[in-house]
Amino acid sequence: MSKAEIPPWGLAIAGSTGAVLANSLVYPLDIVKTRLQVQIKKRPNSSNKLAENDSSATTTNDRHYNGTIHAIQTILEDEGIMGLYSGMAGSLLGVASTNFAYFYWYSTVRTLYLTRVQKNTSAPNTAVELALGAVAGALAQLFTIPIAVVTTRQQTQPKGDKKGLLATAKEVIDSEDGYSGLWRGLKASLVLVVNPAITYGAYQRLKDVIYPGKQILRAHEAFLLGAMSKSLATIATQPLIVAKVGLQSRPPPARNGKPFKSFGEVMSFIIHHEGALGLFKGIGPQILKGLLVQGLLMMTKERLELAFVLLFRYVRMIRKEQLAKLQKIAAERVAAAAEQTKQVAENVAAKA
């Protein structure tokens, strides 16, 4: 069986479905890693010890989180179980649209490259896989980043200021940036296309190395490759991920409501207040989420792609059978018409 039998939209549906299922299962980790990444705390060697409830320590909430477990406990205490699922609808909408666009464009540009540029059966090298992934990621981000901006705002809203998807979008539009605020962090997002590029480039290369020539992977094999590739990508791009979240969330109190203008400004602010290690805050839940999401995504995607292959083969078989029946009926009618014509001719000849 070959994935070449599946059109780009089929691969896009498989990828986006897998992404939605995976992200819905681990969504609380997404909330936690976002909250950890937007809070700003003082340097450990600061003369003033940070109080747990010091509002200057966080971007949008009154509580300071000391780690993943503490964040989960605090959110449950302050907001209840629903606090761990704040903004989930918008997030899953963003996940579905982003992954659909990514997998559609990735399969399209990869097919074009293989058929019009490389023109041979060998697999593209690592650099080419990364470049193809980056192109697909950039195209996907241009169309889907407004949903990511709104979702990040929803995830970091305080308990008493929770808003729906449309109300949050209006809040962004009503800010000093106007409609362009919906594309806040676009430059950082375009830089971050190296994350899925590294992820799927590494996935393809690891697949060729570990399972050479194997078109359809088993569930545990796809999970393993997805987890490994996402871990590599997350470690390499974590500072940019933190900066992007800072751009898209509400500005910290220390900036008196003034939003960041670039991810470079966010990174400088974090380094000034927390040191260089602040750029890697939230990496624990980020990697854990990435491991689970990417593993489940690729596992589900491989299963759905297999289902699409079987479905398209079945449809082609049905069409072939129907075409054969139509050809048979047409041949019988032609033969009947020819027989009638022959009989008419014989009758005319006999009367003559």
Does the residue 340 lie in any domain? no
The whole-number pLDDT of residue 5 equals 60
Does the residue 328 lie in any domain? no
User: Considering its fold, how many domains does the chain have in total?
Assistant: 1
Q: Which residues form the domain of 22? A: 8-39+65-311
Does the residue 56 lie in any domain? no
The whole-number pLDDT of residue 62 equals 60
Does the residue 348 lie in any domain? no
Does the residue 322 lie in any domain? no
pLDDT per residue over 254-298, tens digit each? 777 777 877 788 888 888 888 888 888 888 888 888 778 777 777
Q: Where are the alpha helices (DSSP H) in 275-352?
A: 283-351
Q: What are the residues whose beta carbons fall under 8 Å from the beta carbon of 157, sequence distance 6 or more? A: 60, 86, 87, 163, 168
Question: Is 260 exposed, middle or buried (CB count within 10 Å of its CB: 0-12, 13-18, 19+)?
Answer: buried
Q: Digits of tens for pLDDT over the chain (352 positions)?
A: 455 567 777 777 877 888 888 888 888 888 888 888 877 765 555 444 444 444 444 445 567 788 888 888 888 888 888 888 888 888 888 888 888 888 888 888 888 887 777 766 666 776 777 788 778 878 887 877 888 888 888 777 776 677 777 888 888 888 777 887 787 777 777 777 777 677 777 887 888 888 887 877 787 888 788 778 888 888 888 888 888 888 777 777 777 777 787 778 888 888 888 888 888 888 888 888 877 877 777 777 777 777 777 777 777 788 888 888 888 888 888 888 888 887 877 777 777 6
Q: Which of 222, 66, 63, 243 is nearest to 158 (CA)?
A: 63
What's 15's domain CATH number? Answer: 1.50.40.10
Does the residue 351 lie in any domain? no
Does the residue 170 lie in any domain? yes
Does the residue 55 lie in any domain? no
